[in-house]
Amino acid sequence: MHPLDLPLSAVRALLDARRVSSSELAEQCIARVHERSSLNAFVGFSPDILREQARRADEALRAGQRLPLLGIPIALKDNIQAMGHGCSACTPALALSMPSRDSEVTRRLRDAGAVIAGMLNMHELAFGITNHNAFSMAAHNPWDPLRIPGGSSGGAGVAVAAGLVPAAIGTDTGGSIRVPSALCGVTGLRPTLGRVPQDGIVPISASRDTAGPLANSVADCALLDRVLSGDASALPEIRLDWLRIGVPRDSFWMDLEPEVREICDAVLAAMSQAGVQLVECSMPGLRETDAQCSLVVACHEFVRDMRSYLAIQGRGVGLEEVVAQVRSGDVRRLLEPLLQEGAVSEGVYLAAMAGRQRLRDIYSDTFAKNALDALIFPTTPRVAARIGEDETVELNGRQVPTFPTFTRNTDPGSVASLPGVSLPAGLASGLPVGIALDGPLGSDRRLLSIAAAIEAALPPVPRCARAD
């Protein structure tokens, strides 16, 4: 198997044994990015910068240095600052300046020895779920290039699924790691809010944004979580017959594509056969509460947090200029009113934040009353839409709004600040389907252990055909 297709632990072993060099990995990465350039996964890619980082990593390896990611190429969503690379959030106004410092996430990756492979395509300013961007152009799902990869971390999902890099770092506000993970057939982790530092990341919402990994396995996500969070604790031992997993039928399992339902029901059957106790549970009021606070919080905090980011990071433009230059119609229609008559007032925002606490209470009550270790549900109710289906998409014979359809199951846990994982569950008509787990606040390492145990109990999911 190609080294870029191996788990991070296997790449680590090859590098440490000098069976492959970081420079060889870099050349393989460069070749694959070139061969699959039509996928438009990268918006910033410099072979010379990649080669120089790999050369220094090889020197460190020859000197006997050992670090968890030393010499391994990791790519970043284009809203995560990295010295030597642009950080445009795939919007014109931020493409005019280079960041003057690494984000804290990038610093931690470099400290762990990672080679920063480049910057990945995304929905403009992270305000969308299709990655159909009028400025950086669409990223294409490697399973079917006519379809979306999901967003807003679409380039990250593409890069990992296509084998351009073994792992990538995205950001998640309402599903932007887990949705592309599901639609591209990879694994993604949204950490508990605050677990990973947000310094140096172009924001939407300080109370909702978090960076996290997309990779080929739960073990790879766990390694990257350890690097990003600084939590070096071992994953706790988990046996499937110890677990009580909630199945919230009324809130998360309604109105699914038939093949998606069939695949996710098969996951439940495999879990039950392996000894998991599946607990049917209800979460009354969850949908209504999420709808009352989700967008209000994000829109109010964007105006506040983006102004602060632009000033602190010295990007050379103001918020008004950023919004004025937005190219994507869906993003422009959302953001322009926020600077005018559509601004969210402080009172409305505070009421929404109170709603967010009620949403957290719904989750905590559900976990406590049912003695649950996690909740399980389909990551998205259908497979990837076609590129251009930006406003509506078909679901069970009717047209429904695209954005809320794809984030329907991932958004509530995000608003409640919970950790979440999306795993590949199978293929529906040749396209990936994801199964998601949400855990209680702060349960990231335990949730990863649960996800790893479930991953091991499921039949292997085919991987996307990759460049040689």
Catalytic residues: 77, 152, 176
Q: Are 182 and 432 a contacting pair, CB within 8 Å?
A: yes
Q: What is the distance in angstroms between the CA of the first residue and the CA of the last residue of the chain? A: 10
Helix axes 444-457, 258-273, angle to 10 degrees: 100
Q: How far is CA 105 from CA 51, 52, 79, 178, 193, in A?
A: 21, 21, 11, 19, 14
If one counts every other C-beta atom within 10 angstroms of the C-beta of residue 55, the result is 14
- Beta-bridged to residue 434, according to DSSP, are 424
Cα 49 versus chain centre, distance: 25
Q: Hey, what are 437's tokens?
A: 């787990």
Q: Please report, for residues 53, 115, 118, 421, the alpha-carbon distance to residue 74 in angstroms, rounded to integers and kept in the order given.
A: 12, 6, 8, 19
Only one residue has tokens 């057939």, namely 185
- Position 321, amino acid: E
The token pair at 18 is: 């000098």
Q: What is the CA radius of gyration of the chain?
A: 21
Q: How far apart are CA 303 and CA 320, in angstroms?
A: 10
Which of 189, 174, 105, 183 has its CA nearest to residue 419? 189
Query: 104-111 and 218-229 helices cross at what angle (nearest 10)?
Result: 110
